[in-house]
Amino acid sequence: MEGKFTDEAFFQKLQEGDEGKLKELFNDFFALFVAFARNYLGQDDTCEDIVQDTFVAFWEQRASFKNIYYVKAFFYKTIRHKCLNYIRHQKITSRHASEEQKNDLADKSYFIDAIIQEEASRMIYEEILKLSNMGRQVMLLALDGCSNDEIAEKLGISVNTVRTHKARTYQYLRERLGELRILLLVLFSTY
C-alpha cells in the first residue's frame, strides 16, 4: 500500500469513516487481494467473496489500526486465514457428503432388503394358509416362536405329530416356493 495510502491524512479520514477513502482503497487493492487469495483457492468467486468479507471486517475495526501498515498486515493475514478455513470446510463438507452418500446407499439397500423380506414372507404365509387345518396351525404357532413341545401342548397332539406336520410342510413349501428361492438368490447376488 503505497503512495497516497501511506499519507497520514488519507489514513486519518479512513479511520474516521470516510466511505470515499474506503472505496479508493477497495478499487486500488481489490484485484491484488483476490490474486493473493487465488494462490490458496484458485476460484475467483470464492476469492472475491473472501476479500469482500475482509473489507467488511476491516471497516468494522478501522478505528483500532495504528497505521496503514497494520491495515496491510490485517488484510493479508485475514485473507490467508479465511482461505485456509474455506479449504478445511470444503474437506469436511466433502467427507460429510461422502458419508451421506454411503448412508443413502445403505438406506436404499435396507429398504430393498425389507421389501424382499416382506414379499417373501407374504408368499410363504399365503402357502401356509393353503395347508390342512392342523398343518396350518402347527406352522403358524412355529412362526410365532413356539417350540415343538409348546405346539403339541396347545393343539393337544404329540410332539412326533408336530414334527411330522412340520416336515411335510417344509417339503410342500420347498416344492411350491422353489421359484422364490431362485428369485431371492438372483436378487441378493446383484448387491
Indicate which CATH number applies to the domain containing 145: 1.10.10.10
- Same domain for 65 and 135, yes or no, is no
pTM over cut 0.75? no
Would residue 105 count as lying in a domain?
no
18-34 pLDDT tens trace: 999 999 989 988 888 88
- Same domain for 135 and 87, yes or no, is no
Q: Which of 172, 58, 77 is nearest to 126 (CA)?
A: 172
**Which of 42, 68, 93 represents a domain boundary (last residue)?**
93
What is the predicted pLDDT for the residue at 50? 92
- Same domain for 76 and 139, yes or no, is no
- Same domain for 84 and 147, yes or no, is no
CB atoms closer than 10 angstroms to residue 101: 10
**Does residue 155 sit in helix, strand or coil?**
helix
Specify whether the CB–CB gap between 173 and 123 falls below 8 A: no
- Same domain for 136 and 85, yes or no, is no
**Structural domain total, the chain:** 2
List of residues 6+ apart from 83 with CB closer than 8 A = 37, 40, 41, 47, 50
What is the predicted pLDDT for the residue at 8? 80
What is the predicted pLDDT for the residue at 188? 47
Would residue 100 count as lying in a domain?
no
- Its domain, for residue 53, covers 3-93
**Which of 77, 93, 109 represents a domain boundary (last residue)?**
93
**Which of 93, 114, 145 represents a domain boundary (last residue)?**
93
What ranges in the chain are assigned the alpha helix state H? 8-16, 19-41, 44-61, 68-129, 133-143, 148-155, 159-176, 178-189
162-176 pLDDT tens trace: 999 888 888 887 777
Would residue 106 count as lying in a domain?
no
